[in-house]
């Protein structure tokens, strides 16, 4: 059935197709009979995981970028995800980069995006996250800086975001690795990352006393870091008490692509990213001697891809572009294989 739906969706431009599917899934989560039907259709064997002091019903999550403004996460929870990461959320609303800014590379089962963190801002997203939570779902929020915010002022902006979302989320993810906000990836450099995470750690400590819990904080890294850059980043992440790493964000590499949109600027996701993200997971675990949990994301388009990441040592995995090509049944397919 999804192959037919996909053929219709692919007649629309990618951003319009994404908006349509998100509206449909949001509506589905608001209609109890439809919600029940989706949960029944996509139910998979449970595979509980305990990580960061949280209980995950299974190992498969939805990566940030799919539900930027927190509009459809309740409906998306019906598809069997153990966790959903909303965002990337910026403090103030911003339009992102001008369209076209999302491209399908069908031959490569990939996407290129140069979205630039479009969204309605932190206050809007915070309102979407209140209220009843779907049973068994772990909710994360991915945080990023506004385009107009200088790198020097970035720590204060991330601190403000942590203050807003720590009470609403089960964990937070610090996005310093998108290639689509000019200069953002410089925050992965040793000194800038140290300044940023020091500020975030201080804010978390202050909030912990108020909330009576310590919200886990993860850092999302780029797949394009050199080995020395990765080692520096991981040392800083551990030094400042962060709880884990999400590996990886999209890549600037265009190696091996055959689709017509291969030369578009932006971050590449999907099948061609799989080998690079898997290598990054392995490197992180070697460098940290397995002491820092890793969520593997990038190029997971099948149960086999998921198994490779989990076998490499990833504690959890996330999907996004794989859903575009394989459909919502991908979550059940993975869980039926890896449980």
Render pLDDT for 119-134 as a digit per residue (tens, 0 to 9).
999 999 999 998 888 8
**What distance in Å separates the CA atoms of residue 172 and residue 77, rounded to the nearest whole number?**
18
291: number of Cβ within 10 Å: 9
The pLDDT of residue 106 is above 90:
yes
In angstroms, rounded to a whole number, what is the distance separating the alpha carbons of residues 107 and 220? 28
Per-residue pLDDT of 227-275, as tens digits, reads 999 999 999 999 999 999 999 999 999 988 999 899 999 999 999 999 9
What pLDDT is recorded for position 29? 86
* pTM of the entire predicted model: 0.95
**Residues with Cβ within 8 Å of residue 54, at least 6 apart in sequence:** 138, 170, 171, 216
- How far is the C-alpha of 173 from the C-alpha of 194, rounded, in Å? 16
Phi-psi region at 302: left, alpha or beta (left = phi > 0; alpha = psi -120 to 50): beta
28 part of the active site: no
Q: Which of 28, 57, 177, 178 is an active site residue?
A: 178
Q: Kindly state the DSSP code that residue 119 receives in the 8-state scheme.
A: B
- Look at 209 and 300; give whichever has higher pLDDT: 300
CB 29 within 8 A of CB 78: yes
Over residues 49-67, the pLDDT tens digits come to 999 999 999 999 999 999 9
pLDDT band with cut points at 50, 70 and 90 for residue 185 = very high
Judge whether residue 96 has pLDDT over 70: yes
Better-scored residue on pLDDT, 339 or 224:
224
Q: Which domains does the chain have, with CATH numbers?
A: 2-338 (3.20.20.70)
Residue 164 contacts residue 157 (beta carbons within 8 Å): no
Q: Is the pLDDT of residue 209 over 90?
A: no
**Residue 182: which pLDDT band, with cuts at 50, 70 and 90?**
confident
**Sheet with 102-105: strands ordered across:** 102-105, 110-113, 267-270
Tokens of 13: 């431009």
Of 25-39, 166-180, 195-209, least confident by mean pLDDT is 25-39
Q: For 12-17, what is the mean pLDDT?
A: 94
pLDDT at residue 180 greater than cutoff 90: no
């Amino acid at each position: 059935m999804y192959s037919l739906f996909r053929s219709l969706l692919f007649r629309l431009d990618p951003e319009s197709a994404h908006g349509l599917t998100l509206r449909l899934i949001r509506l589905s989560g608001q209609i109890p009979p439809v919600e029940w039907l989706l949960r029944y259709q996509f139910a998979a064997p449970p595979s509980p995981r305990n990580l960061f002091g949280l209980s995950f019903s299974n190992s498969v999550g939805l990566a940030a970028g799919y539900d930027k403004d927190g509009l459809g996460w309740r409906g998306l929870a019906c598809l069997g995800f153990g966790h959903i990461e909303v965002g990337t959320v910026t403090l103030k609303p911003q339009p992102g980069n001008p369209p076209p800014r999302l491209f399908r590379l069908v031959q490569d089962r990939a996407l290129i995006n140069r979205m630039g963190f479009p969204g309605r801002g932190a206050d809007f997203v915070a309102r979407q996250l209140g209220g009843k939570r779907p049973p068994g779902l772990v909710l994360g929020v991915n945080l990023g800086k506004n385009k107009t915010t200088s790198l020097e002022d970035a720590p204060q902006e991330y601190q403000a975001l942590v203050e807003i979302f720590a009470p609403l989320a089960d964990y937070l993810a610090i996005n310093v690795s998108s290639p689509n906000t000019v200069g953002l990836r410089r925050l992965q450099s040793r000194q800038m990352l140290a300044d940023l995470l020091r500020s975030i750690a201080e804010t978390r400590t202050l909030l912990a006393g108020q909330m009576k819990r310590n919200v886990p904080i993860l850092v999302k890294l780029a797949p394009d870091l050199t080995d020395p850059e990765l080692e520096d980043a991981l040392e800083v992440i551990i030094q400042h008490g962060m709880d884990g790493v999400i590996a990886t964000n999209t890549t600037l590499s265009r190696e091996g692509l055959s689709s017509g949109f291969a030369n578009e600027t932006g971050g590449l996701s999907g099948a061609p990213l799989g080998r690079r993200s898997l290598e990054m997971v392995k490197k992180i675990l070697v460098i940290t001697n397995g002491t820092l949990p890793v969520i593997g994301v990038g190029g997971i388009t099948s149960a086999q891809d998921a198994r490779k990441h989990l076998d490499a040592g990833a504690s959890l995995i996330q999907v996004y572009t794989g859903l575009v090509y394989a459909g919502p049944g991908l979550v059940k397919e993975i869980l039926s294989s890896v449980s």
